[in-house]
Chain A
Amino acid sequence: MCPAGVKGALQDAEEVARAQSVIFLTDFFPPVRFRSSTVKECIHAILKENLANVQYDPEETPQLTRSLSETIKDRLKEEGFYRYKMVVQVVIGEQRGEGVNMAARCFWDSDTDNYAQDIFMNDSLFCVVAAFGCFYY
């Protein structure tokens, strides 16, 4: 963990260096990769915590979906993926035995960019979360 004083000094040093047109290696190679397994665990914990005993309700669910996506995004920001742009998508549906199929395709740099997904189900609803991370060069 970086103490606040040191972090501030490092940020100042970075600003000075950038002003002098210094290019950092971390501009092109992420120091911390967007690891699928780490992100999946974060998402799983948040879903378990927030949806454990929730019933599907047509009035409440839109608000719940929105707040879940914000929560997951904020949690991923805290994980500290340096220079990553992130997209979190949450889909919640009522369980009525209907068929649902979801697919995603991405056009990106597979060396640096990645995604993670998780699915949560109980008897009244199902929830699919997909989190995508794109490195900003």
Chain B
Amino acid sequence: MEEFHPHNDEMTFNAEEAHSIVKECIEGILGKVDYNHNKVNQWTATIVEQSLTHLVKLGKTYKYIVTCAVMQKSGAGLHTASSCFWDTTTDGTCTVRWENRTMNCIVNVFAIAVVL
């Protein structure tokens, strides 16, 4: 069992790292497919689960919230906004937008620090 020493003096959320992790997950799952009503449930679930697993593997003392919205491309508009009440020095968020010919995908990651 490894010794785990969380460094809390300068803990900030690394958004670039999270961005690349999530982007990789999305590419892996939606990269080569078109919008399919029967499978989209499974896809969104897999995207959030995989992203979450990879983020947790970073081993930082954070609580994570990952949300994903997949929308069929039909010319309709979609807007998302979020408002957070937290400690801006330690907590952070990251949004990944991805699209292909038939669908749009937006993944939000919220990371909330746990001070032990």
Contact = CB atoms under 8 A, between A and B. Distances in A.
The answer to whether A and B belong to the same complex is: yes
Interface of A: 56, 58, 61-62, 65-66, 68-70, 72-73, 76-77, 85-109, 113, 115, 130, 132, 134, 136-137
A68 B81 CA distance: 9
Contacts of B93: 87
A77 B80 contact: no
A93 B84 contact: no
B52 interface: yes
Size class of the B contact interface (CB-based, 8 Å): 35 or more
B1 to A, nearest CB: 20
Contacts of A137: 114-116
B85 A58 contact: no
27 contacts: A56-B77, A72-B83, A87-B65, A88-B82, A91-B79, A91-B80, A96-B74, A96-B75, A96-B76, A97-B74, A98-B71, A98-B72, A99-B35, A99-B71, A100-B72, A103-B47, A103-B67, A104-B65, A105-B49, A106-B63, A107-B64, A108-B65, A108-B112, A109-B63, A113-B63, A132-B65, A134-B63
Contacts, number: 145
Contacts of A95: 76
A25 to B, nearest CB: 17
Contact of B78 (A93, A101, A106): A93
A86 B79 contact: no
Interface of B: 35, 37, 40-41, 43-45, 47-49, 51-52, 55-56, 63-87, 91, 93, 108, 110, 112, 114-116
Contact of A98 (B49, B51, B76, B116): B76
B40 A99 contact: yes
A58 B77 contact: yes
Contacts of A96: 74-76
Given A101-B69, A105-B66, A88 B83 contact: yes
B21 to A, nearest CB: 13
